[in-house]
Amino acid sequence: MCRLLGYLGDPILLDSILYKPEHSLIVQSYQPREMTSGVLNADGFGLGWYHRNQDTNPFTYKNIQPIWSDINLPSISRYVESGCALAYVRSATSGQAVDLSNCQPFGSDRILFVHNGFVKNFRQTLYRQIRALFSDRTYQLINGTTDSEHIFGLFVNEFAAANLTLEAALRNALKTLAELANFEQVEFSANIIISDGHQLVASRFASKKAPPSLYWLQDDPNFPKAVIIASEPLFVGNWHSCPAQSIISTGEDGEIKIYPIL
């Protein structure tokens, strides 16, 4: 299981959410509290961020080393300032390669996507069924082999096919995933955070068992006028557990909206 983090609010230096909290994403990489499988997130990491006042696609930084061993990240995170960022640390599913093509966040134009979860026995179960649904553009977008990137492909398929909101496209993608998994009797979980630089949209969703943990925090004294979504609380605060089988979204106005998936 990976650990995820999304931030939307006033611009901050990235080290203020990556390093400074007592249970930061760095700490969660080697001492997670709520992972349902695995004990470490040592199979790489990735960051994605936006410059709010620039009409540019997001920037990413990825590495297949454990996040705690990257000697460049402390300096980069003290330099990069952003009002919207995603990050994750990876615990690779057995049999999945640890290489940059499988490293998140995945992206398409303005969209960034991170996923914590799995499709059980993905290559033997839903791999071909999911790929058969892709448009040619989506098919060409997939560079790696993970279930995570193929769930991202389902989202891109929906988002590109019609004039849908991020919430609607994610909901449709997850409903498709659930229908395929139900037909094949395959277990999956899909905690996801997506952004276009102006919104955070996340899901806490699973087929048979309780979904992995996911929390949200709004207007904390240390991060006023901001929303943070994370797999585990970063520090003591007024964190809320995201409802299971739901999508949570927020925009630049800070309003929190929650929708059922099914």
9 pLDDT higher than 70: yes
What is the percent of the chain with per-residue pLDDT over 70, rounded to a whole number?
98
pLDDT reported for residue 50? 97
- pLDDT tens figures, 13-50: 999 999 999 999 999 999 999 988 778 888 999 999 99
- pLDDT tens figures, 154-205: 999 999 988 899 999 999 999 999 999 999 999 999 999 999 999 999 999 9
Strands (DSSP E) along 64-214, which ranges? 81-89, 106-108, 111-119, 188-195, 200-204
Q: Which of 114, 108, 98 is nearest to 46 (CA)?
A: 114
What is the percent of the chain with per-residue pLDDT over 90, rounded to a whole number?
88
Q: Which of 57, 1, 55, 62 is nearest to 28 (CA)?
A: 1
In 8-125, alpha helices (H) = 15-18, 25-30, 73-79
Task: Note the pTM of the prediction, 2 decimals.
Answer: 0.96
CA-to-CA separations, 196 to 67, 84, 91, 108, in angstroms, rounded: 24, 9, 25, 10
What's the pLDDT band for 96 if we cut at 50, 70, 90? confident
Q: Is 242 a catalytic residue?
A: no
- For 3-117+190-260, CATH gives 3.60.20.10
Give me the catalytic one of 2, 84, 103, 242.
Answer: 2
CB atoms under 10 Å from CB of 97, counted, come to 13
